[in-house]
């Protein structure tokens, strides 16, 4: 194995600058001088043979090469942190950290109970949660900057995936919306009205496309980013939406929203991780999350899923 020509301190300085896009802020966070941070990053660029940063007014910004390398560096720092955690966590997880990702739906409805139980058992473990679309979470778990993640789409190839629970997507609208007065709603009906969604990058949209077919591409669309914003806009009567049933069940009961007569789409909430064994905190949380199924088989199917 070839010995690297850069140091861990150089990687740490580069990652901090990448996060803050500012030399002085990075220096303050690292308790170093600006000159020291600048020198560390310059030496790192020389070691890898790439320009990673460029000036942007008073700050700096990542080049394309810098953005690509930053995620790998975060993964490397996370791997070092796991090693350190392993060394410290010899007394029933009295030290350590856990970095978990979750899609917006999972972060709202499925992750919190598991985190609450984990912190009850291991109160000294430091938690960090990243909320992002499924594709982004898959990428970060593969890169090693996240220990594991809860997603509402497909796992990336190479990841171990465990199916946790089904999640039902339904179409809803305000009770006074024209669609709410129809006994039967077809894709042709839907195409006449505004569709409220989080955004095309979210995995739920693939399920909605399956639910309503080619008509999906003919909608007038309003992108709102988060399902709670979509819910609020739908309650206000701006259009119809596809939302997790768990997110709107109370609104349906109270009459704020009405379920449209379109068959729901059931998707699966999954937990994903890298196949290799992680640190003590990761393994304990994974076991809690999956009920012990996690690494029992160690087998990964061609699509990245364990078969339970």
Angle between helix 23-30 and 34-48 (nearest 10): 100
The whole-number pLDDT of residue 89 equals 65
Looking at 71, 98, 120, the residue that finishes a domain is: 71
Please give the residue range of the domain that contains residue 239.
165-267
**In a 3-state reduction of DSSP, which class is residue 293?**
coil
Within-domain flag for 180: yes
Residues 105 and 235 in one domain: no
One domain for residues 188 and 105: no
Q: Supply the pTM of this predicted model.
A: 0.65
Task: Give residue 7's pLDDT.
Answer: 92
Do residues 170 and 152 both lie within one domain?
A: no
CATH code where residue 258 lies: 3.40.190.290
Q: What is the pLDDT of residue 206?
A: 80
Alpha-carbon gap, residue 149 to 100, rounded angstroms:
5
Residue 239 lies inside a defined structural domain of this protein: yes
Q: 180 and 248: one domain?
A: yes
Residue 255 and residue 197 share a domain: yes
What does the pLDDT read at residue 296? 33
Count of CB atoms within 10 A of residue 269's CB?
Answer: 21
For each of the chain's 308 residues, which pLDDT tens digit applies? 677 788 999 999 999 999 999 999 999 999 999 999 999 999 999 999 999 999 888 789 999 999 999 999 999 998 888 888 777 765 567 778 899 999 988 999 999 999 999 999 999 899 999 999 899 999 999 999 999 999 987 899 999 999 999 989 899 999 999 999 999 988 889 889 999 888 887 777 887 888 887 788 888 889 888 888 999 999 999 999 989 998 899 999 999 999 999 888 888 999 999 999 888 889 999 999 998 544 333 333 333 333 33
The answer on 158 and 171 residing in a single domain is no
What pLDDT does 1 receive? 62
**Residue 173 vs residues 131, 202, 226, 253: alpha-carbon distances, Å:** 26, 20, 17, 13
Query: Are residues 261 and 185 part of one domain?
Result: yes
How far is Cα 149 from Cα 167, in angstroms, rounded to an integer? 16
Regarding whether 282 and 259 lie in a shared domain, the answer is: no
**Are 120 and 262 contained in the same domain?**
no
The span from the CA of 285 to the CA of 148, in Å, is 9
On whether both 159 and 204 belong to a single domain, the answer is no
Structural domains in the chain (count): 3
Give the pLDDT of residue 297: 33
Are residues 130 and 175 located together in one domain of the fold?
no
In a domain, residue 301? The reply is no
Q: Which two tokens stand for residue 221?
A: 């669309």
Asked if residue 171 and residue 160 are part of one domain, the reply reads: no
Residue 234 to residue 254: CA distance in whole angstroms:
14
Residue 299 is assigned to a structural domain of this protein: no
């Amino acid at each position: 194995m070839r010995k690297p020509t850069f140091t861990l301190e150089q990687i740490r300085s580069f990652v901090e600058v990448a996060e803050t896009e500012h030399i002085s802020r990075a220096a303050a966070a690292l308790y170093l001088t600006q000159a020291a941070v600048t020198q560390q990053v310059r030496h790192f660029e020389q070691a890898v043979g790439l320009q990673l940063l460029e000036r942007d007014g008073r700050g700096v910004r990542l080049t394309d090469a810098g953005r690509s390398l930053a995620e790998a560096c975060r993964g490397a720092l996370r791997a070092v942190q796991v090693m350190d955690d392993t060394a410290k966590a010899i007394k029933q997880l009295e030290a350590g950290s856990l970095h978990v990702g979750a899609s917006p739906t999972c972060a709202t409805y499925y992750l919190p109970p598991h985190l609450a139980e984990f912190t009850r058992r291991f109160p000294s473990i430091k938690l960090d949660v990243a909320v992002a679309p499924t594709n982004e979470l898959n990428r970060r778990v593969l890169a090693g900057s996240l220990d594991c993640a809860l997603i509402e789409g497909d796992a990336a190839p190479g990841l171990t995936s465990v199916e946790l629970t089904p999640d039902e997507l339904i179409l809803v609208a305000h009770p006074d919306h024209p669609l709410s007065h129809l006994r039967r709603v077809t894709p042709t009906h839907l195409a006449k009205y505004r569709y409220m969604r989080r955004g095309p990058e979210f995995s739920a949209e693939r399920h909605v496309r399956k639910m309503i077919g080619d008509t999906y591409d003919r909608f007038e669309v309003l992108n709102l980013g988060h399902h709670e914003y979509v819910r609020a806009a739908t309650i206000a009567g701006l259009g119809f939406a596809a939302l997790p049933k768990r997110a709107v069940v109370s609104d349906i009961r109270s009459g704020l929203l009405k379920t449209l007569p379109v068959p729901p789409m059931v998707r699966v909430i999954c937990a994903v991780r890298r196949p290799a064994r992680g640190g003590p905190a990761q393994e304990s949380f994974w076991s809690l999350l999956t009920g012990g199924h996690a690494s029992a088989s160690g087998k990964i199917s061609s699509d990245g899923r364990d078969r339970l």
